[in-house]
Amino acid sequence: MSESAIKSLLDRESVLTSLQTPVIMDYSAPSGHIRVREQITVQRPGNLRVEALSPLGVALIVVADSSRIAVFNPGENLLIRGRANAETLGRFVHIPVAPSEAVRLLLALPPAKTSMAAAMSGIRTESGMSVISYHVDSRRYELGFAAGRLASARAYGATGELEYEVQYRAYRDIGAMQFPFELQARFPSSATLIKLDYLNPSIDRQIADSIFVLSPGPTTRVIEIGAANWPRRFG
């Protein structure tokens, strides 16, 4: 295992704070398949904005932070708000993890920030990758490195079940660093697979806080997630 690969990842950790990019999102689940163009903006520690686009414009906007999520359907002038957690991010963004973890995965950073040197519990070779294991609280994480770059990240629950696996591919030079243009994430519990093709990633730009806020207009219908009348078909 090259120490330079871990150092490179830790250096990314210290400088990489945000990402803006158009993407092609491909989502597969037992219920069906979706392929859509999106605009993604993320900012550490846990701010996220996803705009789903259609030929006629923006079809859906989702924003989230560490505590709240808001989803706006312009066609119905409907805003749904509620708690931001793995369940709501899974429903509306198809990434069923907490907002801060989703942001880190989209930035190709380790799922949980820690001192890997102190927490590392093992190292092995697997399918041409060097894989290190480390623990944070009751969860175990595995990071796979190939050609000196992060190639995969896995998270396991307290009882050892695989929660998700993310693969990073097609690294390209974007000036400040090498960055993966392809991300594929698998979530066994829901039998879902999401693929993201980053089309033009820009990192560490100044992002206004207001981009992560959705405010209803005077005629916008607002519903809280979980309310008796909230439309479960929505999203």
Q: Look up tokens 């163009």; give the residue.
A: 37
Any domain includes 21: yes
C-beta separation of 144 from 152 below 8 A: yes
Domain containing 200 — which CATH number?
Answer: 2.50.20.10
Q: Is it the case that residue 1 has pLDDT exceeding 50?
A: no
* Number of residues written out for the chain: 235
Q: By residue range, what is the domain housing residue 118? A: 3-224
Reply yes or no on whether the pLDDT at 15 is more than 50: yes
| Lowest model confidence (mean pLDDT) among 63-67, 87-91, 111-115 | 111-115
Tokens of 47: 């701010």
Question: Does residue 234 form part of some domain?
Answer: no
- pLDDT tens digits, one per residue of 79-102: 999 999 999 999 999 999 999 999
Across 55-80, average pLDDT:
94
Q: What is the mean pLDDT of residues 1-9?
A: 67
Instruction: Report the alpha-carbon distance of residue 109 to residue 105 in Å, rounded.
Output: 6
Identify whether 229 is part of a domain. Answer: no
- pLDDT of 235 reads 46
pLDDT, tens only, 135-181: 888 888 999 999 889 999 999 998 999 999 999 999 999 987 899 99
Could you give the CA distance from residue 136 to residue 129 in angstroms, rounded to a whole number? Answer: 22
Kindly state whether residue 157 falls inside one of the protein's structural domains. yes
The pLDDT, as a whole number, for residue 61 is 97
Q: Taking Cα atoms as reference points, which of 170, 113, 130, 97 lies closest to residue 4?
A: 130
Quote the pLDDT of residue 112.
79
Q: Is the pLDDT of residue 2 over 70?
A: no
Does residue 19 sit within a domain? yes
**Would you say residue 60 lies in a domain?**
yes
Residue 100 has a pLDDT of 94
DSSP states of 80-96 as a string?
A: EEEE-SHHHHHHHTS--
- The number of folded domains in the chain is 1
Does 235 fall in a domain? no
Confirm whether 41 is domain-assigned.
Answer: yes
pLDDT of residue 118 exceeding 70, the answer is no
pLDDT digits (tens, 9 = 90+) for 169-212: 999 999 878 999 999 999 999 999 999 999 999 999 889 999 99
User: What rounded mean pLDDT belongs to the chain?
Assistant: 89
